[in-house]
Amino acid sequence: MSNSMMSGMHDMSLWLAVPVSLLLVLGGLITLTGALGLLRLPNFYQRIHGPAVYITVGTGCFLIASMLYSSVALQRPIVHELLITGFVILTAPVVSMMLMRAAVYRDLRKGNTDNTPGDAYKFPREH
């Protein structure tokens, strides 16, 4: 397997190399932007939106690139990246929901609320 991988790497034709590298560069840029968001955004509620970008689109780019490349290099369709996509879509939302709720409940217990008159449910204030 690693043998055919290696030979595929050497004589990778242009029509494969271009889309694969474009996808890899795009995925890398998106991941960098998401990480930059984690660094630049001022509070937790905004920072939680940064990783969402690379969890979905960044990972998607890498997985499509990987599927394209290994399918051609190994001369047969390689689709088990679809499983990774499935598992990411099932698990990542749960994590962000849990983080969000933990932050909301901590802020509410601190009494850091944004009162809407007449509303029993309070949202935390963003500082």
Enumerate binding residues for another protein (CB under 8 A). 30, 33-34, 36-37, 40-42, 45-46, 48-50, 52-53, 55-57, 78-80, 82-83, 89-90, 92-93, 96-97, 100-101, 104, 114, 121, 123-124, 126
CB of residue 15 to another protein, shortest distance in Å = 24
The minimum distance between CB 6 and another protein, in angstroms, equals 19
Shorter beta-carbon distance to another protein: residue 10 or 77: 77
Please, which residue, 17 or 75, has the CB nearer to another protein? 75
- Whichever of 65 and 124 has its CB closer to another protein, that residue is 124
CB of 91 to another protein, least distance (A): 10
Q: Do residues 20 and 65 touch, judged by C-beta distance below 8 A?
A: yes
Identify which of residues 7 and 80 has a Cβ nearer to another protein in the complex.
Answer: 80
Question: Cβ–Cβ contacts within 10 Å for residue 124, how many?
Answer: 19
Provide the token pair at 74.
């190994």
